[in-house]
């Protein structure tokens, strides 16, 4: 049993050993109290390793921001084991969360087919309708927002709890703006009782979950070999992203040196297993 166990542990040990000796710039970034680890990287660092979509900006030396299509999302907890992070729209500032009317300006737009980031099962969408002439409260899932900005004076604003906006709402209810926002499903329930959890502002502040993944067979292979994926713009190649696999022994274009071990214990044939 013991040799068998070792066989399973060996790759893990090798990976850990390999992860020890990478360029210091990959390993070491902080923003205020947050430590930033691979595959995230600090946008202003010289680091070449990390996933392209996971470059973080450190604002005021303490707030971590994830830019998505030029919009800013505040980064909360990153779970490096589960490969998830919680983010919230940075348009909603902390001083506003007591108010019942979080003012969002953009829909989250991730091109899921070509992204290192995905929404998760923990998320659910709500739709904010600002500055409407018609009262939606007869529609069962609409909750009226209180304390919206002066600019919506004399009008009504709502949050719809089920479904994504179809794009016809603004017209149908005569609203000035419609924004769809992912929120954590567990917090969405709180919106039914507008008073709890800091109201809609608190739910938006609490954010939603994103999952990150290696996204490409190329990066997957590199990580399996104990390396870290990096992408660099290649100026001589029209600025295209060039893949690099950072290994113990230095950067390579594919994967780190093949690890092999004898499988005597398992097969008694003396064959060599490589991965």
Ligand X SMILES: *[C@@H]1O[C@H](CO)[C@@H](O)[C@H](O)[C@H]1NC(C)=O
**Residue 240 burial (10 A CB sphere; 0-12, 13-18, 19+):** exposed
- CB distance 211 to 110 below 8 Å: no
Choose the binding region for ligand X from 6-14, 91-99, 176-184, 204-212 (rule: CB under 6 A).
176-184
18 membership: H or E segment, kind and range: helix 2-18
Q: Which of 9, 16, 21, 164 binds ligand X (CB under 6 A)?
A: 164
Work out whether 157 is an interface residue with ligand X (CB under 6 A). no
Q: Which of 151, 234, 249, 271 binds ligand X (CB under 6 A)?
A: 234
- CB distance 273 to 261 below 8 Å: yes
Q: Please count the CA atoms within 13 angstroms of the CA of 51 that sit on its side-chain side.
A: 21
Work out whether 167 is an interface residue with ligand X (CB under 6 A). yes
Dihedrals phi, psi of 26, to nearest 5 degrees: -75, -35
- CB distance 54 to 219 below 8 Å: no
Q: Which of 193, 249, 262, 271 binds ligand X (CB under 6 A)?
A: 193
Choose the binding region for ligand X from 8-16, 162-170, 211-219, 261-269 (rule: CB under 6 A).
162-170
Q: Which of 137, 151, 249, 262 binds ligand X (CB under 6 A)?
A: 137
| Shortest distance in whole angstroms from residue 181 CB to ligand X | 9
Work out whether 252 is an interface residue with ligand X (CB under 6 A). no
Dihedrals phi, psi of 76, to nearest 5 degrees: -95, -125
Work out whether 151 is an interface residue with ligand X (CB under 6 A). no
Work out whether 189 is an interface residue with ligand X (CB under 6 A). yes
**Closest alpha carbon to 241 in 65, 111, 48, 112:** 48
**Would you tell me which residues interact with ligand X (CB under 6 A)?**
24, 27-28, 32, 43, 55, 57, 61, 67, 106-107, 119, 123-125, 135, 137-138, 144, 156, 164-165, 167, 170, 178-180, 182, 189, 192-193, 234, 236-237, 242
């Amino acid at each position: 049993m013991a040799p068998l166990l070792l066989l399973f542990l060996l790759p893990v040990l090798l990976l850990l050993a390999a992860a020890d000796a990478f360029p210091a710039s990959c390993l070491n970034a902080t923003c205020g109290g947050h430590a930033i680890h691979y595959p995230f990287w600090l946008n202003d660092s010289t680091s070449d390793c990390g996933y392209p979509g996971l470059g973080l900006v450190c604002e005021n030396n303490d707030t971590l921001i994830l830019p998505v299509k030029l919009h800013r999302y505040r980064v909360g907890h990153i779970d490096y084991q589960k490969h998830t992070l919680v983010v919230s729209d940075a348009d909603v500032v902390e001083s506003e969360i007591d108010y019942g009317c979080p003012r969002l300006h953009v829909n989250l737009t991730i091109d899921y087919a070509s992204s290192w980031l995905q929404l998760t099962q923990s998320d659910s969408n709500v739709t904010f309708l600002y500055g409407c002439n018609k009262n939606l409260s007869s529609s069962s899932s609409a909750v009226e927002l209180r304390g919206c900005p002066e600019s919506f004076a004399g009008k009504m604003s709502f949050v719809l709890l089920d479904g994504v906006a179809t794009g016809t709402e603004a017209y149908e209810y005569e609203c000035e703006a419609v924004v769809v926002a992912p929120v954590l499903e567990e917090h969405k329930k709180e919106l039914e009782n507008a008073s709890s959890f800091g109201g809609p502002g608190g739910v938006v502040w609490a954010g939603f979950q994103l999952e990150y993944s290696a996204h490409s067979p190329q990066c997957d292979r590199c990580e399996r070999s104990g390396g870290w994926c990096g992408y660099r713009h290649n100026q001589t190649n029209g600025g295209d992203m060039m893949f690099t696999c950072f290994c113990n022994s230095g950067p390579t274009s594919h994967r780190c040196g093949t690890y092999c071990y004898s499988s005597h214990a398992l097969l008694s044939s003396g064959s060599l297993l490589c991965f």
